[in-house]
Every structure is written in C-alpha cells, then in structure tokens.
Amino acid sequence: MNIVIYGTGGVGGYFGARLVQAGNDVTFIARGEHLSVIKKKGLQLKSYKGDFLVYPAKATSAISEVKNIDLILICVKTWQLNEAVNEIENVLAKNTMIISLLNGIDNVAVISKKIDKKHILGGLCKIVSKIEDYGIVNHISYEPTIVFGELNNIKSKRALQLEQTFKRAGITTKLTMDIQKEIWTKFLFISTISAIGALTRASIGEMICLPEIKDLMYKTAEEIVTIAKAKKINLPDDIIKKQFKLIENQPYNTTSSLQRDMMEGKPSELEAQNGKIVKMGNELGISTPVNNFIYYCLLPQENKARVLNKIGC
Ligand SMILES: NC(=O)C1=CN([C@@H]2O[C@H](COP(=O)(O)OP(=O)(O)OC[C@H]3O[C@@H](n4cnc5c(N)ncnc54)[C@H](OP(=O)(O)O)[C@@H]3O)[C@@H](O)[C@H]2O)C=CC1
Ligand SMILES: CC(C)(CO)C(=O)C(=O)O
C-alpha cells in the first residue's frame, strides 16, 4: 500500500515505521532538523515491542512530491491540522483515504471543511511515544492501537482491507461500527487525565492514589459525559466506571502527551481538550466548573508557550 504519514512524531513515527516493516511503501512528512537526520540516517524506532530502523527512509516536507496515495495517516498536533489539510487537499487521487490519529473530537470536521467526506474515515490511536531526538522516536509504553471506521459506520470493503494492512504490520486494530462513540470515549479518557496531570505535574499513578485528585478527575469526567449526552453521543451508562478502570490499570508513571508538552514549556492541545469542554459547556448552557478551573489555571502557561514558540491557536 502507498501510505503517507503526515507528521513524523511520536505517533506517526511509530505507526509509519511498523507499516514500513510490514512491506508497505511509506513516505514520511517531516521538517527541519528532524527531516534532515531522517534523510541522512533513517528513522530509528525504539520500542519494547522491538526496535526498527527505517533506512533508507522516504521522507520529505512536501507531500506534493508523492503520487497515487492510497492512505494518508494524519499525525500532527490539533493546531497544525489546518495547515496539513491545506497541503493534503492538492494531492488526492480518486481513492485516497485519510485518517486522523489525533486526539480531540473536531478533527473530521476540520478535515471535511476542505476535503470531500468520501475520502475520510474516522480514527484515533492509543500509544505513549515521543520524539526522543532528531530522527529518533521512542515508544515508551501502551499497546499501540489504531481504532478506525467509516463515518457512516458501515463495514466497507476498503475499511476491511485497511484492517488487514494494520494487522499485518502488527498493530492492534479495531474496525468500529461507531467511530463517534470511540472518538468521544478517547476524548473522555484523555481529558480526564491530561490537563489535571499538567496542573499537578504528577503521573497517573500519583494522581489516582490521592482521593482528592481522583475525585477531581471524576468530576471532570462527569462534566464531559453530561456534554456528550447533550450532543446525543451514544456512550454507555457505565462509561466513567469503565474509563476509571482503564486509568487505574495504566502503568504508575504514565503521563499524557499534552501533559509532557506543558511540562516542557511547549505549546499543547489544551484548547482541543479541556478548552473544548469549556467552550461546548458555554454553547450548550451546561456548567463545567471543574474543567473551567483546570483550563483557566493552565491558560497563562499555554499562552506563554505559544508566544515563545511564535504559534497561534
Ligand atoms: N504521543 C503520544 O503518546 C500520543 C499522541 N496522540 C495524539 O496524536 C497527535 C500527534 O501527537 P504526537 O505524535 O505526540 O506529536 P509530535 O509533535 O510528536 O509529532 C507531530 C510531528 O508532526 C510534525 N509536523 C506538523 N506539521 C507539519 C507540517 N506541516 N509539515 C511537516 N511536519 C509537520 C511536527 O513537526 P514540528 O515539531 O516541527 O511542528 C512533529 O514532528 C496529537 O493529537 C496527540 O494528542 C495520541 C495518542 C498518544
Ligand atoms: C494517554 C495516551 C497516552 C493514550 O494513548 C494519549 O492519548 C496521549 O498521551 O495523548
């Protein structure tokens, strides 16, 4: 399969390298020094599931150089999605599929502003990974998983073929018949742990051990579920209980990518996670006091990181 990984970071680097390992023709979109090193020395994947060096790696900053693409996996940060879509819209072949693996609930809407929905499938991923150094991606923990599905929830021929492509690459894969539910479930999980993690500067294990913080996380989750219900998202009644079981089962030192970015003084996805909850609460007239508190406490730090890195929202 001819695959483009748009954004060769923690997520794109991992899944892209595994797809190369399985024999797919993969082009990595990257930039700056990271791209130079990948071109010179290849893309080095470190993982407890087995290291792999993609060498030589097909890598470029210009997706326009790639023709006849079967699949584009978008793996940039939420605030980088618009720019990526502007480039992607010019290279689509008749049957090109696009899947976003980003966290957040708005990604399909952002992509479909520019691109016909027939190209788009919904998606998300689960993994803990990051760029360790230029040209090096480190998968730290979590069983790397891709969840995806057609927007109209049918089991299409192309989705079934894609499921096989991911599985052959050793990627735990779920082809779902309710992608909206899956995206919101991941949103609930990530927004319950990430910004509180950034605020407390503590790992999941440290947070969950403190009843007061666990209670704060619970209230965060309840506010999200209230909003999801108002938006008619089909979440099961015991969703919070299930999510807390998942949170409690994470390795003690687990942190989220948003939290790691904030702790390193980098721009983060605060706006697309707890900021989004606050915004939706305001629009729907639903009070979200815990998410408001967390979001506004972190906003000055987020704004500072964006000014320092010259990045808008
Ligand atoms: N890392 C993780 O453990 C997990 C992350 N996620 C989600 O996945 C998404 C990606 O996260 P992650 O992989 O950590 O992010 P990273 O920042 O590690 O990777 C994104 C990469 O894309 C590059 N990029 C962005 N725009 C462009 C562009 N126009 N051209 C070329 N390169 C570009 C970035 O370069 P530059 O740095 O120069 O901007 C960066 O190298 C996020 O939504 C995140 O929430 C989900 C599950 C787990
Ligand atoms: C919490 C985690 C690691 C789960 O995949 C994640 O989605 C992130 O760090 O952004």
Q: Are residues 164 and 217 in the same domain?
A: no
CA distances from 191 to 71, 176, 187 (A): 28, 22, 6
**What is the residue with the minimal CA distance to atom 10 of ligand 2?**
257
**What is the residue with the minimal CA distance to atom 4 of ligand 2?**
126
Q: Are residues 162 and 202 in the same domain?
A: no
- Coil, helix or strand at residue 208: helix
Domain boundary among 150, 177, 204: 177
* 280: in domain: yes
Give the pair of three-digit tokens for residue 11.
């997520």
Residue 148: per-residue pLDDT: 98
> If you count DSSP H runs as helices and E runs as strands, how many of each does the chain have, helices first?
12, 10
The whole-model pTM stands at 0.97
CA distance 299 to 11: 25
Q: What's the complex ipTM?
A: 0.98
Domain boundary among 145, 177, 209: 177
* 58: in domain: yes
CA distance 195 to 277: 12
Cα of 279 from ligand 1 centre, angstroms? 24
Closest atom of ligand 2 to 257 CA is 9
* 252: in domain: yes
Q: Are residues 12 and 159 in the same domain?
A: yes
Does ligand 2 come within 6 angstroms of the Cβ of 192?
no
Q: Are residues 239 and 126 in the same domain?
A: no
CATH number of domain containing 11: 3.40.50.720
Q: Are residues 185 and 44 in the same domain?
A: no
CATH number of domain containing 269: 1.10.1040.10
CA distance 45 to 136: 6
Ligand closest to CA 191: 2
Q: Are residues 21 and 160 in the same domain?
A: yes
Closest atom of ligand 1 to 29 CA is 31
CA distance 88 to 84: 6
Contact (CB, 8 A) for 240 and 52:
no
Cα of 251 from ligand 1 centre, angstroms? 23
Q: Print pLDDT tens along the chain (313 aa).
A: 999 999 999 999 999 999 999 999 999 999 999 999 999 999 999 999 999 999 999 999 999 999 999 999 999 999 999 999 999 999 999 999 999 999 999 999 999 999 999 999 999 999 999 999 999 999 999 999 999 999 999 999 999 999 999 999 999 999 999 999 999 999 999 999 999 999 999 999 999 999 999 999 999 999 999 999 999 998 999 999 999 999 999 999 999 999 999 999 999 999 999 999 999 999 999 999 999 999 999 999 999 999 877 776 5
Cα of 81 from ligand 1 centre, angstroms? 10
Cis peptide leading into residue 56 (ω within 30°)? yes
Q: Are residues 201 and 147 in the same domain?
A: no
Per DSSP, 134 falls in state: T
Q: Are residues 77 and 211 in the same domain?
A: no
* 313: in domain: no
Q: Are residues 58 and 107 in the same domain?
A: yes
Structural domain boundaries enclosing 228? 181-308
Q: Is 63 exposed, middle or buried (0-12, 13-18, 19+ CB in 10 A)?
A: middle
Cα-to-chain-centroid distance, residue 196: 18
Phi, psi of 72 (to 5 degrees): -115, 120
Cα of 120 from ligand 2 centre, angstroms? 22
Degrees (nearest 5) of the Cα angle 108, 113, 119?
60
Return the amino acid letter for 8: T
**What is the residue with the minimal CA distance to atom 6 of ligand 2?**
256
CA distance 132 to 253: 17
Domain boundary among 156, 177, 198: 177
Q: Are residues 227 and 112 in the same domain?
A: no
Run of H or E including 159: helix 157-168
CA-closest candidate to residue 18, choices 160, 194, 157, 172: 172
Q: Are residues 165 and 185 in the same domain?
A: no
Does ligand 2 come within 6 angstroms of the Cβ of 128?
yes
